Amino acid sequence: MTTPPRRKRTTSAGLRRDELDAVALLLTQARSVLFITGPGMSADAGLTHHRGLPGLARKKPEDARLVELGMSAETMVNRPNMTWRYLLEMDLHVRTAQPTRGHEFIAALERDIKRCVVMTTNVDRLHQRAGSKNVIEMHGALQDLLCPRCEISRRTTGYHMMDIPPLCTTCGGVMRPDMPLFGEPLPADPMTRLQAELEQGFDLVMAVGFGAMFPYIARPILVAKSEGIPTAEIGAAQTDVSEVVDFRFRGTPMRVLELIWDAYRQLPRATLL
Ligand SMILES: [Zn+2]
């Protein structure tokens, strides 16, 4: 008779199994979870970012500066064709990218957990394509167009079927994506929605895929921590909250989420609903 091999305490990626199991258990018990997702989540889908812009990563600093100039609010007004060249490049990358297993896991949890909210800085809509519905897009989305003159908006699935630059059918003005360009403030609506969700509270807060943290990204984690609510961070880079969170998984979001999913599936889900 042979004994089964003992389960190793760490995964091949050096992640602690007891911690992966603990987060999986918390997910089965939680009535509400907030996922805060950033560029690393989309990088697993092949979308490399430059300052939040998917598909526009540049190796040379001078080329990166050109991207920032082209994607500025001023260029959008004065030379919209230049901005639209970059937007088309982004759209091509975003449209051909596929949601990862990480996106799929978060979407599956939305079906299991009473209140599962995704707050994302990504503009690629990969969460929704994976099936998530409760998504707060902090930076808007590339696919939503807006006429700056008469404020009419239009939802698209991509720019491939449009004349470029697209014109507003009401006033003839050049449309733009409903997302902040360089030099513009964040949209107010998502911030208001996030605030309303935060006021209801969460049982678990997880940050996934950030290289750097803006204060509004770190705040839900810091608030949760101060209230004794479990917090976790998944990502390759060290951030401002890495030393604060209860569980820190250093690795690519897709890989870590897959491991948590494996552990989650083996647990009987608490009957909450
Ligand atoms: Zn218009």
The alpha carbon of 136 and the centre of ligand 1 are apart by a number of angstroms equal to 26
The alpha carbon of 149 and the centre of ligand 1 are apart by a number of angstroms equal to 5
CATH 3.40.50.1220 positions along the chain are 1-47+99-140+185-268
Ion ligand 1: residue ranges with CB closer than 5 A: 147, 149-150, 168, 170-171, 173
Distance from C-alpha of 193 to C-alpha of 220, rounded to nearest angstrom: 13
pLDDT in tens, 13-47: 889 999 999 999 999 999 999 999 999 999 999 99
For residue 192, the surrounding DSSP H or E stretch is helix 188-200
**2-33 residues labelled b (16+ CB within 10 A) or e (exposed):** eeeeeeeeebeeebeeebbbbbbebbbebebb
Beta partners for residue 49, in sequence order: 54
> Would you say domain 1-47+99-140+185-268 falls under CATH 3.40.50.1220?
yes
From residue 37, alpha-carbon distances to 97, 218, 259 in Å are 17, 11, 17
What would the two tokens of residue 193 be? 């929605």
The alpha carbon of 175 and the centre of ligand 1 are apart by a number of angstroms equal to 8
Distance from C-alpha of 75 to C-alpha of 77, rounded to nearest angstrom: 5
Distance from C-alpha of 159 to C-alpha of 33, rounded to nearest angstrom: 33
pLDDT score of 272:
44
Q: Which residues contact 232 (CB under 8 A, 6 or more apart)?
A: 23, 204, 205, 206, 207, 245, 246, 247, 248, 249
Distance from C-alpha of 146 to C-alpha of 165, rounded to nearest angstrom: 12
Going by C-alpha positions, the residue among 198, 273, 269 that lies closest to residue 25 is 269
Supply φ then ψ for residue 213, to 5 degrees: -115, 130
Catalytic residue among 50, 93, 127, 139: 139
The alpha carbon of 141 and the centre of ligand 1 are apart by a number of angstroms equal to 19
| Blockwise average pLDDT, block size 10, the chain, 273 residues | 71 91 96 97 94 91 94 97 96 97 97 97 97 97 96 92 93 96 94 96 98 91 97 96 97 97 87 44
Query: Whole-model pTM?
Result: 0.93
Q: Which residues contact 234 (CB under 8 A, 6 or more apart)?
A: 206, 207, 208, 209, 249, 251, 253, 256, 257
Query: Is 93 annotated in the active site?
Result: no
pLDDT score of 12:
82
> Would you say domain 49-96+144-178 falls under CATH 3.30.1600.10?
yes
Region for residue 106 given its phi and psi (left: phi exceeds 0; alpha: psi -120 to 50; beta: otherwise): alpha
Q: DSSP of 101-154, one letter per residue?
A: HHHHHHHHHHHHSSEEEEEE---S-HHHHHT---EEETT-EEEEEE-TTT--EE
pLDDT score of 13:
82
pLDDT in tens, 259-271: 999 999 999 875 4
CATH 3.30.1600.10 positions along the chain are 49-96+144-178
pLDDT score of 1:
56
pLDDT score of 242:
96
Backbone CA torsion sign across 103, 59, 14, 2:
positive
